[in-house]
Chains A and B, each alone.
Chain A
Amino acid sequence: AQTVTQSQPEMSVQEAETVTLSCTYDTSENNYYLFWYKQPPSRQMILVIRQEAYKQQNATENRFSVNFQKAAKSFSLKISDSQLGDTAMYFCAFLYFGNEKLTFGTGTRLTIIP
């Protein structure tokens, strides 16, 4: 079975600073995707970024980037120049080919302090 672990229940950072959220996962699969979803107070689940396991290059979306370490099974999210609108729960998730159900971590509550 696949597991996703987020070891930081809560984090806070000053506006404009950089913050990194941790995620580790356990799998014996080779062909899979990893995702970061954001859930603001509105509770809408919003895709932030995704990474294909076969790609060595780390994914980047504007201020959001990942550090994907396949051997270590680590998938951290870096938010640069943090903004108040980044305040949300962040969930790491895993999906592998042939089993189309996302496995989520327990989330990290991120607060951006003005």
Chain B
Amino acid sequence: NAGVMQNPRHLVRRRGQEARLRCSPMKGHSHVYWYRQLPEEGLKFMVYLQKENIIDESGMPKERFSAEFPKEGPSILRIQQVVRGDSAAYFCASSPSGGLNIQYFGAGTRLSVL
């Protein structure tokens, strides 16, 4: 049973470009969470999704950031017109359902904005 798969592991973008980060949850998991980790900090919640639904996006910046989890395929975190401050590690986690369940993390995508 493969774990949570994130790709790419490393992504380099120039200012103004778009970044697309992908996350395939563990088999049987229908809940996906995205977190951001700035250098030397803990993880901060961004968004919580179920298939085709955004449940909680209270941690997501209002502009340039969007997330989706389509019926088929991976969850996508999209950052438009990236700026240097977007440089961070972005982690995806999944769980089989909501509530008090363990969230299993992927290895993260490290985004570097030049």
Please report A residues at the B interface, Cβ cutoff 8 Å.
31-33, 35, 37, 42-47, 50, 52, 91, 95-107
Q: Could you tell me if B45 and A102 are in contact, using CB atoms closer than 8 angstroms?
A: yes
Query: Known contacts A45-B105, A95-B100; is A101 also within 8 Å of B110 by CB?
Result: no
CB-based A-B contact count at 8 angstroms: 63
Interface residues of B (CB under 8 A from A): 31, 33, 35, 41-45, 48, 55-56, 58-59, 89, 91, 93, 95, 98-105, 107-108, 110
In the complex, the answer to whether A91 meets B43 with C-beta atoms within 8 Å is yes
A102 and B35 form a contact (CB under 8 A):
yes
Cβ-defined partner of A52 (8 Å) among B31, B43, B44, B100: B100
Contact B104 A100 (CB under 8 A): no
Best-surrounded residue of B48, B104, B105 (most CB of chain A within 10 A): B105
Interfacial chain B residues near A37, Cβ < 8 Å: 105
Cβ-neighbour of B56 out of A35, A100, A107 (below 8 A):
A100
Contact B104 A47 (CB under 8 A): yes
Complex-state Cα separation, A39 to B108, whole angstroms: 11
- Kindly list chain B residues whose C-beta atoms are within 8 Å of the C-beta of A35: 102
Per the bound structure, the CA–CA distance linking A50 and B43 in Å amounts to: 17
